[in-house]
Amino acid sequence: MDAASKKPATKKAAKKTQVGFEESLWDAANKLRGSVESAEYKHIVLSLIFLKFISDKFEARKKAIIAEYGDEYIDMVDFYAMDNVFYLPEDARWSYIQANAKQGDIAVKIDTALHAVEKNNKSLAGALPDNYFSRLGLDASKLSALIDTINNIDTIANQNEKTEEDLVGRVYEYFLGKFAASEGKGGGEFYIMSSSFFTNECHLHKAA
């Protein structure tokens, strides 16, 4: 009976950890206030989460390609597309963004990454923002702190039987709820990436 009583406690603890993570991410995003309008920072956060997600998928697929075919195919777009994964050149990978997070031109590097993702994946044509981060004039230190927080997101399915969609989708829904609550109804229209976007269906939805 003692063993049975421990199981619910474990699940509860896991849930609490996840909620704490979401709140931590929200707090980091909230620090962008003062640098940009609140109507803008939702796009900043979701764009960065998107970059982290597709990069994690890319790295996992890259390892699988090496294991099955060898490293001569790791830069062939078709080998990623066949598994519904976006191909990412080096300057579009999260590892590159994270390594340069403390640089003063990190906003430019993020814009370059988004442009490279779109250029190398025809299904994304016109879907990603163009020079968005550079135009905002963000405080580099605040943007760096947000990148560090997002770096802790494990978007690949883990041993607790959660899928990528569970992990990223939960963060996505949490943020949309927070954004909606902070703006209220009539806060203006904006374009957001739907949760299906994170699973590579690549659609933009209009939300109000």
Quick: pLDDT tens for 57-88.
999 999 999 999 999 999 999 999 999 999 99
- 1 within domain boundaries: no
Q: Work out the pLDDT band at 202, boundaries 50, 70, 90.
A: very low
Q: Is 11 within a domain?
A: no
In a domain, 10, yes or no: no
Look at 15-24, 154-163, 189-198 and tell me which has the smallest mean pLDDT.
Answer: 189-198
Segments forming the whole domain that contains residue 35: 16-207
Q: Is the dihedral angle over the CA atoms 130, 106, 118, 167 positive or is it negative?
A: negative
In a domain, 120, yes or no: yes
Q: What is the pLDDT of residues 127-159, one digit of tens each?
A: 888 899 999 988 899 899 999 988 987 777 554
Contact assessment for residue 153 and residue 49, using Cβ atoms and an 8 Å cutoff: yes
First to last CA, the chain: 51
What residue has token string 């080096």? Answer: 90
Phi-psi sector, 107: left (phi>0), alpha (psi -120 to 50), beta: alpha
Quick check: pTM over 0.85?
no
Domain of 170: which CATH number?
Answer: 1.20.1260.30
Total structural domains within the chain = 1
Count Cβ atoms below 10 Å from residue 1 Cβ, excluding itself. 4
Rounded CA-CA distance 198/53 in Å is 7
